[in-house]
Structures are given as C-alpha cells and as structure tokens.
Chains A and B, each alone.
Chain A
Amino acid sequence: DTGVSQNPRHKITKRGQNVTFRCDPISEHNRLYWYRQTLGQGPEFLTYFQNEAQLEKSRLLSDRFSAERPKGSFSTLEIQRTEQGDSAMYLCASSFIQGAYEQYFGPGTRLTVT
C-alpha cells in the first residue's frame, strides 16, 4: 500500500501522560499536514511541513504539542501532559508542493484520554 500511513491507529492514555503519533506520507510527496477532528466537526488544521521545515502552526497547537519531520520523510506529533480535551482523531495528509488541495489523508490515530 503506497498511501499515507499512521501509527498507532488507536491510543488510549491517562490524563497527564505523553503520547507520540507517527505519519508516513506518500513517498514522493514533500508536504505533510496534521489535522485534528472531533465528533461532528470537520478536520481542523494544526501544522504543516515542506520537506523538513515546519512552515506554519495553528493557534490550536498549544505549547504541549510539538511536531517534527526530521529528514523530510515521516513526521511525529507529540502531545505532552495530555488532557481530556485532546481526545480526537489526529489526521495526517500529504501532497506535492503544487496542487496542495490534492491532500491525501491517512487513516488517522484516534486518541482517547481518560
């Protein structure tokens, strides 16, 4: 399968714990995006990378959130000191530089904070 992959698919954690998610984009794509989606809402933009450079971060991304894409390939999203409000689906997408609207999404990581 050459699509976007995300791991883990599900994560249950206790409040206050740290969690890390991984996204592997489509191999030839140089842009990678993170979104968050809660029940009944559309995905909300969090941040995006072009190669290894993080170009933009949403105000939704508090100091407890950090994302990296160290070699311009896979990316990680870490949430420190999780809160119940962090429970959501975390979606990763990738695209070429041109045609950013053609963003291909991964299956997401569903986070539940208890």
Chain B
Amino acid sequence: RKEVEQDPGPFNVPEGATVAFNCTYSNSASQSFFWYRQDCRKEPKLLMSVYSSGNEDGRFTAQLNRASQYISLLIRDSKLSDSATYLCVVNPPRMGDKLIFGTGTRLQVFP
C-alpha cells in the first residue's frame, strides 16, 4: 500500500463550483499533514497545513479524519486560476523532516 494515495483525476469543474479532494495515508501515527499546489512544470507551493480541528483559508478548507486516515481539501467558488495539481503531503513519524507526497489530483476549472 502506498504511504499517501490520491485520486489522480482530472476533476473538470465549471467556475463557481465546489470541489473536494480526498487523500488517504497509511501510517496511523502520522502527525503532520499538508496540501501543496503545483502548476504545470512549476515547483510545488505550500497551500495550507491540515490541523486536527480543521482549518480554513478563504475559499479553501482542509480537514483531517484520523479514525479513517484521510485528509480532505474543499475548494468553494472555483476560479480559473485554481486549475493546478493538488498534492497531499504527510510527514510520518520517525521519518525526520522529509515529506511524503501523493501523486497529486489534477483540477481543471473551465469557464
């Protein structure tokens, strides 16, 4: 089983739609979780951290479900500029500071 699994998509949604991505992780003792955004042929950029209580940043909401070992990202009122690949990232315990990335979920927002 992969350490971090994501649906690769693509998710094709119209502007203004709400879209949600899920990601599952295998190590139940993992403590740190993040979403990174990666535009085509660009470097990954930290979008948001995922806290146990859930967190929101504008149109973006991240949630963590430890019991089911999954992380979600909700994007409301999608914009054309949200089109990108969203990478689910985990820092498992006893792995130092290295990040384990999922394969990414591709989002395409159309007019």
Chain A contacts to B: CB under 8 angstroms: 31, 33, 40-45, 48, 55-56, 58, 91, 95, 100-108
In the bound complex, do residue B43 and residue A55 qualify as a contact, i.e. CB atoms below 8 Å apart?
Answer: no
**8 cross-chain CB contacts under 8 A:** A33-B97, A42-B4, A56-B96, A56-B98, A101-B32, A101-B89, A105-B45, A108-B43
In the bound complex, do residue A100 and residue B91 qualify as a contact, i.e. CB atoms below 8 Å apart?
Answer: yes
Interface membership of chain B positions 25-49, coded 1 if the CB is closer than 8 angstroms to chain A and 0 otherwise: 0000000101000000011111001
CA distance A58 to B103 in the complex (A): 18
Indicate whether A33 sits within 8 Å of B45 (C-beta atoms), given known contacts A40-B103, A100-B91, A101-B32. no
Partner of A48, one of B42, B49, B97, B101: B97
Secondary structure type dominating chain B contacts: strand
Number of A-B residue pairs having CB atoms within 8 Å of each other in the complex: 52
Indicate whether A106 sits within 8 Å of B98 (C-beta atoms), given known contacts A42-B103, A101-B32. no
CA distance A25 to B42 in the complex (A): 17
In the bound complex, do residue A33 and residue B98 qualify as a contact, i.e. CB atoms below 8 Å apart?
Answer: yes
In the bound complex, do residue B43 and residue A105 qualify as a contact, i.e. CB atoms below 8 Å apart?
Answer: yes
| A77 vs chain B, min Cβ distance (A) | 15
CA distance A7 to B93 in the complex (A): 33
Chain A residues with CB below 8 A from B45, complex form: 105
Output the nearest chain B residue to A4 by Cβ-Cβ distance: B43
